[in-house]
Structure 1
Amino acid sequence: MSLTPRREPAAADIIGSLSRAGDLFQLLRDGKARTRAELALSTGLARSTVAARIDALMVSGLVGPAGEALSSGGRPPSRFAFNPSARLVLAVDVGATHVVVAVTDLGGKILAEHRLALQVADGPETVLDQVVAQGKELLAVAGRSAEELAGIGIGLPGPVEHDTGRPVKPPIMPGWDGFDVVRYVQRSLPVPVLVDNDVNIMALGERASHWSEHSNFFFVKVATGIGSGIISNGELQRGANGTAGDLGHVQLARGEDVLCACGNYGCLEALASGPAIARALRQQGLDATKGADVLRLAAAGNMQAIQALRQAGRDIGDVLATVVNLLNPSVIVVGGSIGESGEHLVAGIREVVYRRSPPLATSHLRIGISMAGQRAAVLGASQMVTQHVLSPAVVEATLAGSAITG
């Protein structure tokens, strides 16, 4: 699966800042083939300047030949385009009970991938050693080497200080609090390592692969917990301390007597997560201990399970109506093991959001189920890395032979 080529920035957005080859490269990231003359015309740079920068990008491998343009007489001019196969990304999705490791190219195309049954509670050394070992094995499967890695992206199921890559008091990750994930991984693979929480990278992956034309995008993960990823004006919003999007601990009046694992009462997560829905069904006499049991019952046509999912959707919709009023996204995508289960949950969300939000905010709003599914996180981990390593400054440093290492 390949990510949709990046559509921004347009040429007009960066003309005037094209002082380096790294800046010129941003025009080519959309995948469209261009001639030197076309680049000179669109940027206002001299052809000799464009030629020198294209030559440098060609040497790096980031840009490659893309055939010849039509000639108006004489030798047809050569065309050039972004070469996503020049370097590789190791994309990692660490969940509570699984780890997915994938090797992608710089365009997000998955070249090799493997899913491991691994408990995050086993601790950072155990998990990260497996990530490194599996990553090296997948590189061999893809017929590539570790020297071709541009970077590593890792998503973790808990709060992360993105600037340092350190988990911050993660509730289901014993031994991970403050652990230096970046330095530990770089001991074996000395490349840039970027770390974020899983919902943020799922938002990146979902948008890049299926909704790239939408700059205001909101992703909701509904599984063992509930969280969200916020993309506003095309940029992921992490907040002051990296905790933006903590949807699961917004309080609902309906749950004022329901205790949440965080210690507060009435949190959305205590009412609408997989375990919370299962608990409600157990109180009705049904055999349900986890979210998967809820989905099994609903798939079998059990009306109590279907209604429980619908009510969970309404509860989530109560919170999302406020999100729509504040952020005005054009798309809300629901993912996670419960969110991807079907229309019952999403129907409840739509019911409340469209009723409680202003008509102008919902006139073009789309609410749907994740299309990237279980691959959203690894696609987002890849996207997180490429946004960094293909930025103007890092491309320029690479061309100068002094690549930034994070």
Structure 2
Amino acid sequence: MAADLRLRILESITDVPASAWDALAGPEAPPFIRHAWLSAMEESGSARLETGWEPQHLTLWRGKHLVAASPAYRKHHSMGEYIYDFSWASAAERLGIEYYPKLVVGAPLSPATSPRFLIAAGEDAAPLRLALIQAAIESAREGGCSSVHFLYPREDEADLLEEQGLARRITLQFHWKNPGYRGYDDYLARFDSKRRSQIKRERGAAANQGIVIRTVRGQELGLEHARRAYGFYEATCASRGPWGQVQLNQDFFVRAFRSLPETVELVQAEHKGKVIAGAFNLATPERLYGRYWGCHEEHPFLHFHVCLYHSVDECIQTGRKVFEPGAGGEHKISRGFEPTAVHSAHLLFDPTLDKAVRDFLRREHAHLRPAVEQAEQLAGLKPWPLQGRATG
């Protein structure tokens, strides 16, 4: 690390002013690395030591000036990451290795690609990125962590991490992409007639059921919507049994709605004057991020409409380029969501465990291309642009 740089590890994101942190992230940063999002996570108690997320944010200072940072947490479990390493933890246990704590560089409960190296404007980014990688590894070793994991970095950051000796992992999410649709019919035209009829039937079910779906955003959002979003999230967690652990509390939603009013959106489904389902999303001018959904009444195809079709239509209307509906969900493929690579990078300090993980990742990677090809075949999207539009 350069002699003029000083490393400071923050035990709370509030230990640095929001203006200083967000200046590094830049005005177009994804919401998950903004100070307000991390603060809502931590100050609500949703991402604190008590819940297994111990803040250890890496910051580099030149004198009194913050010049670089990485959001980071000592993790005491593997929940809420969505780059699944439970089998690695089991292997460590068999070897007699304490897998937890580990150091995770990324944002809590936010499976979306975002910059992991935040660099001040005008700074030479290359040495500062290397300094942050070094700080992550050294602080993890000194803090008794078994490993370092960079989750959801940008592709160029993953390239650098691989060059620095970390094991790269590529997994898939399914994103909707807008190549320049003029309207919803353009989107439908990319499917064959059978799939097109299926989407029309599923999308039209809400109206036939007397369900009205709309997006609430901006000044219309209030405390009732934050509480409602939490209620939907809690209902979904409850429906998933042991895997549906409630990791966020109501105060997180209240804080997020209050501090990110220009970013938060709530899709609501109303039936007979009552809100019965909803999806909590985050939006930027170019991207929509789906986060949490839930319902209090079951209706056919309601999930697809609230979480997918309604927002796809709005993305076309607003010109957004990408809709990331979150981790998992192969049901999205047949509805026009395309396989998209997401990255992570890993370094395990025990040589035997590190070798085992690297061997696993090589085998996993060998299956990636066939998985992508299979997903593309299932999606069955016709190339864009099309000559004319299909309406049947």
TM-score by shorter chain over 0.5: no
Give the TM-score range, shorter chain: under 0.3
Rg comparison, structure with higher value? 1
Q: Normalization by structure 1: what TM-score?
A: 0.26
Which has the bigger relative contact order, CA under 8 A and spacing at least 6? 2
Query: Which structure is higher in strand share?
Result: 2
Q: Normalization by structure 2: what TM-score?
A: 0.27
